[in-house]
A and B are shown apart, each in its own frame.
Chain A
Amino acid sequence: AQKITQTQPGMFVQEKEAVTLDCTYDTSDPSYGLFWYKQPSSGEMIFLIYQGSYDQQNATEGRYSLNFQKARKSANLVISASQLGDSAMYFCAMREGLIQGAQKLVFGQGTRLTINP
């Protein structure tokens, strides 16, 4: 079964609009972390935002915010006031367990976001 599901293979948004990228996850572990990474055409993986399963508030990092709905097991990324430079592939990822250790990240299939001028 897919642990991380991103149902939008591609999205097209006008510059300056807000955009929501969907991510749902599946885990039976009560302790987990959720991450969003951006991958521009150059290929590197850029960390954007993190949400822990016990965090009471939704995470925010500048123009990025995470709409965390624990009961629905969703962790959608919201980008406000989109810019042309936001055009990239976006990956949602999960790490199960919050004990110290080398916990792997499990990634979704990604969403390709294109910002139109």
Chain B
Amino acid sequence: EPEVTQTPSHQVTQMGQEVILRCVPISNHLYFYWYRQILGQKVEFLVSFYNNEISEKSEIFDDQFSVERPDGSNFTLKIRSTKLEDSAMYFCASSVVGAPRDEQFFGPGTRLTVL
């Protein structure tokens, strides 16, 4: 069964460093998302992406964040200068156009630890 994959599974970085989280959505999906989950808290929407541009972003998704689809398969989230409060699990998700429920399939997540 096709699945969303994410790399790395765990990233440790120093405050102020740039990180890039990578995702490979399901191949026939056209809508892509990033969510984050701070430890012990609920999952929060960051950004959605369609047709090579951002569809919607939350107030969390400030100028330090960017997304890109550099090729036909990868979808990346970049944090330019990480802060301690960026430590969280980051989930990538994708969905297909026209499905009755437009279910979002989640990847396994990347745990980001900022020291």
Contacts and interface: CB of A to CB of B under 8 A. Distances in A.
Interface of A: 33, 35, 37, 42-47, 50, 52, 91, 93, 95, 100-110
Interface in B25-60: 31-33, 35, 41-45, 48-50, 55-56, 58
Given A43-B89, A105-B45, A107-B44, A100 B103 contact: no
A105 B55 CA distance: 13
The 8 A-B pairs of least Cβ separation, nearest first, read A102-B48, A45-B106, A102-B55, A104-B45, A50-B101, A102-B31, A107-B43, A44-B108
A33 B42 contact: no
B100 interface: yes
B107 to A, nearest CB: 8
Interface string B83-107: 0000001010101011011111111
Contacts, number: 67
B22 interface: no
Given A105-B104, A108-B42, 8 more contacts: A35-B101, A45-B93, A45-B106, A50-B103, A102-B95, A104-B45, A105-B45, A107-B44
Interface of B: 31-33, 35, 41-45, 48-50, 55-56, 58, 89, 91, 93, 95, 97-98, 100-109, 111
* Interface class of chain B by DSSP: strand
B37 to A, nearest CB: 8
Most-contacted residue by chain B among A42, A102, A108 (CB, 10 A): A102
Nearest to B91: A45
11 contacts: A42-B108, A45-B109, A46-B106, A95-B102, A101-B50, A102-B48, A104-B48, A104-B58, A105-B104, A108-B42, A109-B42
A110 to B, nearest CB: 6
